[in-house]
Every structure is written in structure tokens, then in C-alpha cells.
Structure 1
Amino acid sequence: MAKVKDLFRDYLAKHGLKVTRQREIILEGFMSSPSHLSAEELYLRLRKDHPNIGYATVYRTMKLLADSGIASERHFGDRQTRYEPNTSEDHHYHLICNSCGRIIEFEDAKIETLLQQTAADHQFTLSHQRLELYGLCPSCQGG
């Protein structure tokens, strides 16, 4: 977490922005979150312990985290921007339930190999990738 805080502080300083306690609280709350949160969901989670943090501050800070490369903005078909930490070089993929919106992350070496091979077959150099599969989770299937 200290490395991420340093990256964020460096980004803010480089762009002439202040390191505020509110921004640090938002960063900590985001990085400790177990799921893909929207700015509103993070705000609702944080305001319990930090009622002085407003929604606009959370929204703007999440944009800063995305711009700095600490977070990735994701769009899973529910018309909300969701955020996830950029914590490793490992690629992971998403299963998204069309009914309840549940997001399940998974890793699969076979998919990774297939994507790399497909790119190589087409003499294409990958910069990044995204795989999202939509359907029904076990709960919404009635099982």
C-alpha cells in the first residue's frame, strides 16, 4: 500500500494538486475494497466513518486514480463506471451476471496462451486485453 500511496502522491505533485487527507482516505478505501465499486458505492461505504467526504470528492479522486494508472475504469453493461486496482501484471477476466450484476473474476492460463498465440498469428503486438463474459450466475439460474 505504501508504494501505491507514493505513486499517487507523485502523480498529484506532478500535476500541481494537493495531497489531502480525504484523497488518502479514498485511496485506502478503494484499495481495500473486495469488489469492483462505482464512485457512488465507494462514497456510500466511506461516508459511514468519514461523513465529511462528499460524493464529488470521491468521484474526482477516482478519476485521478484512473488517470494516474492506479485504477482501471471498467464498464460492465450496467451504465456505471466501476473501478478496480491495477495491482499486478497478471491478466484476469470477468464473468458478469445479466440479472443481478454480480462480477466474478477469474484467471485462466489457457485463455492467456490462446490470446497471445492469436496475436502472434496475426503479427499483432498486444498492449492490453479485456475479456468479459455475460450470462447468468448460479444464483440467478435457480441453482
Structure 2
Amino acid sequence: MNTIGFEKVRQILEKELENRNLRKTTERFTILEEVYSRNDHFDVEDLYDTLLSKNFHVSRATVYNTLDMLVACGLVKKHRFNGDGAVFEKALGFRQHGHLVCNECHHIKEFCDPRLQAIQDNVGVALGFNITDQALVFYGTCSEDNCENRISAPLKKEAHQ
């Protein structure tokens, strides 16, 4: 899905730091690199633990503050699914997509559909609205039999008629 190189992402962060008169620290760029090496949704603790497991010692406050800055400059998207804590995903260079969130196991699946862009364009034109972003989330129950986070018994799969 990635259509943009990490160097471009790094340049955007550098410019943002310059605009905010902030230092270009190793911690900020390491956090950015870790975010862009992932292909999943993660929370602050996941990211913090991953950095520690790679022997990169950084404070939780630095992780929180850096993620907030990355969200503000459009490099990371922040979601709140099911009222749970915030989860993040890299944002730049990825196709528009929606999310399926299981109400039981909380697993998140992404899906792409070219009709999403057409719907966004049609709604914008019809309502005279310049849409700059969208988030489509479907909530339900997945059919993963071996889900490690399932709260209740797995659903029985019904035969299609």
C-alpha cells in the first residue's frame, strides 16, 4: 500500500520541526521510523514497548508528544474505535481505506474499495463541501474461530444457501 518513501516522510517531519522551532532529535526520528515500519494499528504502549524491546530508551511522554505532533502534521492518523483508547496508523502514502472493527475481540481489519473515493467526491459536489478527509468504520462481529481476544464463544458459521 505504501506509495511514498521514508525519506519524504522524514523531510515532512523536519519541516514541521523547523516551523515549530523544535529540535530535530534522534528520539523523534526513531519514533517516526518505527511508526512507518509497521503495518498495523497500534497504541502508545505498543509503540513504547516496541522501542524498548529494540533497546531504544525513550520516555512515554516523548512518545505521546511525538505522536501528537505526527498527527498534527498529517503523518499519522489517530482513531478511537469502540470508545477504547486511541490507536494510530501511518497516514502518508496509503490508499484511502475503511475499517472493520469487531465488537467482541476488538480486531481491526482494513479494506479498500474504489467506490469510497467516488462516494466522497459525489457527496462533496452534491453538498458543496470540500472534503479533506474521511473515516469509514463498520462495527460488528468477526468470524475468526481462533480469535485470542474473543469474549464470548465463537460464532457458528452458517452455510450459504
User: Highest Rg: 1 or 2?
Assistant: 2
Q: Which residue among 66, 73, 80 is the counterpart of 1:75? A: 80
The alpha carbon displacement at 1:63 in A equals 0.6
RMSD, aligned α-carbons? 1.8
The alpha carbon displacement at 1:91 in A equals 1.4
Q: Secondary structure at the match of 1:37?
A: coil
The alpha carbon displacement at 1:51 in A equals 4.5
What amino acid does structure 2 have at the position aligned with 1:36? H
**Match in the other structure for 1:19:** 24
| Structure-2-length-normalised TM-score | 0.80
* Structure 2 contact 43–87 (Cα < 8 Å) conserved: yes
* Whole-angstrom distance in 1 between the partners of 2:37 and 2:92: 12
Which 5+ residue runs of structure 2 have no aligned equivalent?
A: 1-5, 145-153
Which 5+ residue runs of structure 1 have no aligned equivalent?
A: none
* Whole-angstrom distance in 1 between the partners of 2:8 and 2:88: 19
Number of aligned residues: 143
* Structure 1 contact 78–101 (Cα < 8 Å) conserved: no
Q: Which residue among 7, 15, 31 is the counterpart of 1:10? A: 15
Decide which moves more: 108-117 or 44-53.
108-117
**Match in the other structure for 2:155:** 141
* Whole-angstrom distance in 2 between the partners of 1:52 and 1:21: 11
* Structure 1 contact 119–126 (Cα < 8 Å) conserved: yes
The alpha carbon displacement at 1:78 in A equals 4.2
* Whole-angstrom distance in 1 between the partners of 2:12 and 2:116: 31
**Match in the other structure for 1:125:** 130
Q: Secondary structure at the match of 1:116?
A: helix
* Structure 1 contact 72–83 (Cα < 8 Å) conserved: yes
* Whole-angstrom distance in 2 between the partners of 1:51 and 1:117: 46
**Match in the other structure for 2:150:** none
* Whole-angstrom distance in 1 between the partners of 2:40 and 2:106: 12
* Whole-angstrom distance in 1 between the partners of 2:128 and 2:19: 37
Give percent identity, aligned residues only: 28
